[in-house]
């Protein structure tokens, strides 16, 4: 599609789409406050989420479909909230392919803001927000049956771990099952203790979706 400036831009999904999974994990990258520059697959924020997808694939095999979303644009972009539009498009595609399956949303930074906004979307049962961007006016969509993992590096100077902890307290008060996981000595990039982030997210999501079984053979690519 073309944006208002006439540029060709697109959102896109990549991942593994096995024939009979028990659930779906949608992995969503970060970005910035503003920016209508097209987002390529090789952008650092997009690439940072590849190891999370890989860890999920290795942990669950064919019991879990794992897809990564690439947004059209770099930014959140104020009231336009373009990443939410892109994520809802991705959820529609997932529902078309895997109607009725539970969905886990995994997002970093701006992607963490996206997943907390979409916690009440049909089919979403699990939310993982990694160093999320949290604003006071954002919706708090906790409910019984929703499983939430909030991870945040305590040395993060880009987003605020204290805000993330408070978000967890509100979601828990609304009935959600919330795990708050501060990471000592970690920055916003999640690179200093990268294996810990990848492992704990994979363990949480596979357990939440009931996908922690021995991998099976045969899967398609999206």
Is the confidence at residue 220, as pLDDT, over 50?
no
Cross-strand bridge partners of residue 8: 2
Q: Where are the beta strands (DSSP E) in 34-184?
A: 64-70, 103-108, 124-130, 147-153, 177-183
Dihedral pair phi/psi, residue 17, rounded to 5°: -130, 80
Is the confidence at residue 9, as pLDDT, over 50?
yes
Distances, alpha carbon 45 to alpha carbons 20, 31, 125, 126, 188, in Å = 30, 6, 25, 22, 11
Average pLDDT, the chain: 92
pLDDT tens profile 31-67: 999 999 998 999 999 999 999 999 999 999 999 999 9
| Residue that wins the pLDDT comparison between 89 and 9 | 89
What percent of the chain stands above pLDDT 90?
87
What percent of the chain stands above pLDDT 70?
91
Instruction: Place 222 in a pLDDT band, splitting at 50, 70 and 90.
Output: very low
Q: How far is CA 43 from the centre of its chain?
A: 17
Is the confidence at residue 7, as pLDDT, over 80?
no
CA atoms within 13 A on the CB side of 197: 31
Domain ranges of the chain: 12-209
Cross-strand bridge partners of residue 182: 152
| 46-55 CB burial, b ≥16 within 10 A, e <16 | bebbebbbeb
Is the confidence at residue 132, as pLDDT, over 70?
yes
Cross-strand bridge partners of residue 149: 128, 179
- Domain 12-209 in CATH 3.30.300.30: no
């Amino acid at each position: 599609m073309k944006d208002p400036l006439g540029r060709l831009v697109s959102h896109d999904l990549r991942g593994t789409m096995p024939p009979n999974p028990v659930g779906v994990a949608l992995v969503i990258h970060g970005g910035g406050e503003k920016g209508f520059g097209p987002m390529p697959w090789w952008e650092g924020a997009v690439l940072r989420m590849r190891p999370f997808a890989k860890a999920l694939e290795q942990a669950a095999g064919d019991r879990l479909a794992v897809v990564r979303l690439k947004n059209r644009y770099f930014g959140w972009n104020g009231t336009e909230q373009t990443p939410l539009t892109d994520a809802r498009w991705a959820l529609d595609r997932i529902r078309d392919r895997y109607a009725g399956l539970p969905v886990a949303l995994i997002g970093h930074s701006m992607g963490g803001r996206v997943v907390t906004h979409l916690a009440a979307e049909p089919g979403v049962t699990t939310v993982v927000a990694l160093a999320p961007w949290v604003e006071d006016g954002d919706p708090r969509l906790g409910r019984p049956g929703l499983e939430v993992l909030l991870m945040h590096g305590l040395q993060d100077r880009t987003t605020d771990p204290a805000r993330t902890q408070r978000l967890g307290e509100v979601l828990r008060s609304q009935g959600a099952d919330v795990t708050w996981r501060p990471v000592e000595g970690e920055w916003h990039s999640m690179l200093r203790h990268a294996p810990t982030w990848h492992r704990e997210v994979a363990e949480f999501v596979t357990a939440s979706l009931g996908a922690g079984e021995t991998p099976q053979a045969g899967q398609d690519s999206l």
